[in-house]
């Protein structure tokens, strides 16, 4: 440390940082802990201890089918976003042509677009054109918000990629397509995986587009939680949310460990 924690300045900085972490984690802790209470209404800190809400949430078919919808949509959107995003990122880094920066800016622009604006635009668009049916509307919308994340992660990775490796492969007789699959892809794979995971999470957590575009009979999990929370505070919603948090935590730790043991993290 440049500044000692024992100095007044260091102490104030440390205090603010501790406060920040408490602030960041408090609502998440609430969501996990509140359904443990046996009072029948949500309170934090919880009073008593029961696992019945968690048990009930695991068997609640409404939430389970919403989870299935969310997973399906997130997986489809992430895979499409990954495919078109990586192809575009490769093109953007591999070739230079006039307007390349503009194209890149356009591809990245949904990042800054308020999702609500996108949702209003797409809803009107689908109503008027009748294009796409069922859950594909939401998938299309999520592809638009997920692709920029894939690009954001894979562009720097591809830019850092040593072009001479690809040239060496070409020199050894590989076609451009073969060189991409044999040399480029394996080297930049961690970046692409990270981008796809990010896309998956974005789609899975997204609520605004889902509110507008999900099939009426098949809401996604965030929409279910959103509606349930608006209607009232049942412990079962909190239990579902708590499970979601715990699953996220587990997956994050798993991803981290895999990366660490796989030796791919730098």
Partner 1 sequence: MDIQLQNLRKTYGSAVAVADMSAKIPQGRMLALLGPSGCGKTTTLRMVAGFIAPTSGSIRVGATDITTLPAHKRDTGLVFQSYALFPHLSAAENIAFGLRRRGVARAEREQRVTAMLDKLKLSGLADRLPRQLSGGQQQRVAVARALVINPSILLLDEPFSNLDAKLRESTGLEMSRLQREFGLTSIFVTHDQTEAMSIADTIAVMKDGELQQIGSASEIYERPANRFVADFIGRANFLAGRILRREGQDAVAELAAGLEMRLLDPGAAALPGAQGEALLRPEAIALADHASPGSFKATVEQISYQGAIANLHARLADGSAIVASVPPEDARGLAPGKLVGLAPKPAALIWFAKS
Partner 2 sequence: MTKPETKGGGARWALFAPALLFAPCAFVYAVFFIWPQASLLAISATDAAGLTLAHYQRFAGDSYYWEILGRTLGLGAAVTAITLVLGVPTAYLLARVQSRWAGFLLLLTTFPLLVSAVVRSFGWMVLFFRDGLLSHGLMALGFADKPVQTMYTMAGVIIALAQVLLPLMILTLHGVFKSIDRDLEYAAMSLGARPIVALGLVTLRLASGGIVAGSLLVFSLAISAFATPSLVGGARANVMATAIYEQAIELLDWPFAAALATILLVTVLALSLAYGALLEGRGEREAAR
Binding positions for partner 1, rule: CB under 8 A: 2, 4, 7
Tokens of 24: 């960041």
Closer residue to partner 2 in complex, CB, 28/193 = 28
Tokens of 236: 């079962």
Residue 88 found at the interface with partner 2 (CB under 8 A): yes
By a kind-dependent CB cut-off of 5 to 8 A, residue 231 interacts, out of partner 1, partner 2, none, with none
Element (H, E) at 61: helix 61-94
Cβ count within 10 A of residue 198 = 17
How far is CA 50 from each of CA 4, 63, 81, 183, 245, rounded to the nearest angstrom?
Answer: 45, 20, 42, 54, 18
CB of 237 to partner 2, least distance (A): 7
Of positions 69, 140, 155, 183, contacts partner 2 by CB under 8 A: 140
Residue 250 found at the interface with partner 2 (CB under 8 A): no
Task: Please tell me the distance from the alpha carbon of residue 34 to that of residue 41, in angstroms, as a whole number.
Answer: 9
Task: Please tell me the distance from the alpha carbon of residue 110 to that of residue 149, in angstroms, as a whole number.
Answer: 10
Of positions 56, 110, 182, 259, contacts partner 2 by CB under 8 A: 110
The answer to whether 192 and 82 are in contact (CB under 8 A) is yes
Of positions 6, 128, 217, 231, contacts partner 2 by CB under 8 A: 128
Closer residue to partner 1 in complex, CB, 2/164 = 2
Residue 69 found at the interface with partner 2 (CB under 8 A): no
CB of 124 to partner 2, least distance (A): 6
Task: Please tell me the distance from the alpha carbon of residue 169 to that of residue 190, in angstroms, as a whole number.
Answer: 20
By a kind-dependent CB cut-off of 5 to 8 A, residue 182 interacts, out of partner 1, partner 2, none, with none
């Amino acid at each position: 440390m440049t500044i000692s924690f024992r100095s007044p300045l260091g102490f104030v900085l440390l205090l603010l940082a501790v406060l920040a972490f408490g602030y960041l984690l408090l609502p998440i802790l609430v969501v996990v802990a509140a359904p443990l209470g046996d009072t029948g209404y949500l309170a934090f800190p919880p009073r008593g201890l029961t696992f019945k809400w968690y048990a009930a949430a695991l068997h609640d078919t409404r939430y389970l089918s919403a989870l299935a919808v969310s997973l399906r949509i997130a997986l489809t959107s992430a895979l499409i976003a990954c495919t078109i995003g990586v192809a575009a990122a490769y093109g953007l880094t591999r070739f230079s042509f006039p307007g390349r920066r503009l194209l890149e800016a356009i591809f990245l622009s949904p990042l800054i677009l308020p999702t609500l604006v996108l949702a209003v635009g797409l809803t009107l668009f689908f109503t008027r054109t009748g294009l796409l049916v069922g859950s594909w509307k939401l998938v299309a919308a999520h592809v638009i918000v997920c692709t920029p994340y894939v690009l954001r992660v894979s562009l720097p990775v591809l830019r850092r990629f040593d072009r001479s490796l690809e040239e060496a492969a070409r020199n050894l007789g590989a076609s451009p397509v073969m060189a991409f699959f044999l040399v480029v892809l394996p080297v930049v794979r961690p970046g692409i995986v990270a981008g796809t995971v990010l896309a998956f999470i974005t789609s899975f957590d997204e609520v605004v587009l889902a509110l507008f575009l999900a099939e009426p009979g098949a809401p996604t999990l965030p929409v279910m939680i959103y509606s349930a929370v608006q209607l009232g505070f049942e412990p079962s919603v909190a239990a579902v949310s708590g499970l979601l948090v715990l699953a996220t935590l587990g997956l994050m730790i798993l991803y981290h460990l895999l990366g660490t043991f796989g030796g791919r993290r730098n």
